[in-house]
A and B are shown apart, each in its own frame.
Chain A
Amino acid sequence: MLNIKCPHCGMRSQNEFSYGGDATIKRPELNKEVSDQDWDNFVYNRKSLRGKHKELWQHISGCRQWIKVERDTATHEIFKTVKAHEDI
C-alpha cells in the first residue's frame, strides 16, 4: 500500500487517489505551428523511467485536487509531493 501525502489534506492511503501519469509531459502550445513529432511526444511517447519519476495523481476520494508526486518506480519510495501548479 502506498501512502501519499496530499499537500492539501496530509498523509492518505493510495486507495483515495487515482493516477494521472507522467507529470513532465507538456501540451504543445496550440497558437504556434505544432510538428507531428511534438504532437507524438505529447500524446504517445513516454520515457517511463526506472527510478525517480514525476507523476500526477488526483486525490479523487478526498479534496479532488490534482497533485504532483515524485516516486521511485522500482522501490515505490515517495520523495516529494506538491500542488499541481508548483514545480517538482
Chain B
Amino acid sequence: MSEPILKMRRVGKTHGKGAQRVDAIIDIDLDVAPGEFVAITGRSGSGKTTLLNIAGALDEPTTGNVWVEGRDLGDLSRKELAQLRRISVGYVFQQFNLLPALTAAENVAMPLELDGMRPSDARLLAEKALAEVGLGGAGHRYPDQLSGGEQQRVAIARGLVGPRKLLLADEPTGALDEATGEAILQLLRDRCEAGASALMVTHEPAFAAYADRVVRLRDGKIEEISVRRPVPSSTADLIS
C-alpha cells in the first residue's frame, strides 16, 4: 500500500489545565490513504474538531505524532508548517470564517494568492471552484449578501480550490439543504477519485455514508464503524 497522506499515531490532546482539563482525544491511530475519503462521526464534544485541527497542523497534539505526506509535523519549522497549511491542505471549518470585507471570489482566491499565484490566475480558479459548488456568477457578492448555505458553499470552494492533497472538512453540510449537501458530498468524492484525500466530520449518517470509511469518536477514542464495499453486479439481493 502506498504511503498514507495523513498518518496519526497515539495522538492525544488535553485542553485546559488543572480542574478544567479535558482529554479531548486519547491515543488516536488513524491513516488516510491517497484517494481515500474518511468520515468522522460522534456526539457533540467527542473530539472531532480537535482531531481535525491536529490533522491539519492548526493545533499541536499533547502526545503522539502526525505525518502529512510523510513529513512529521513535529519536525517542521514554523515556516514549513505555514507552507503546508497553505499549499497541501484545504480546510472547511465548522464556522465559515469568511472575511466580510472581501467578495466571495476574493475569499476563495485568497489562499492561492497567499501561495504567490498571480491574482488574475487565482481569480480564474476561484470562479471555477465557485461554479463547482453551484455559485457561478455570485463571485462579486460579499458574505453578508449571501444566505447561510451560500456562505457555506463559498467556504467549501475556498477549501477545495487549487491542487490540495488533503481536504479537511468540519460539518461542511451544516447549513445546507439535503440536495445541496448531497451535491457537495459528491464533489468531495469526485475530488478523492481524482487523487485527493479527505477527512470529514459530520453527524449526518446519510452524508457520512458517502465516505469510503466511517469512523466514530467516543470518549476521545476512535472506532471503525464501516468500510465501503464494492457495488455488486446484481442488485436483486437488496430489494427482496
A and B associate: no
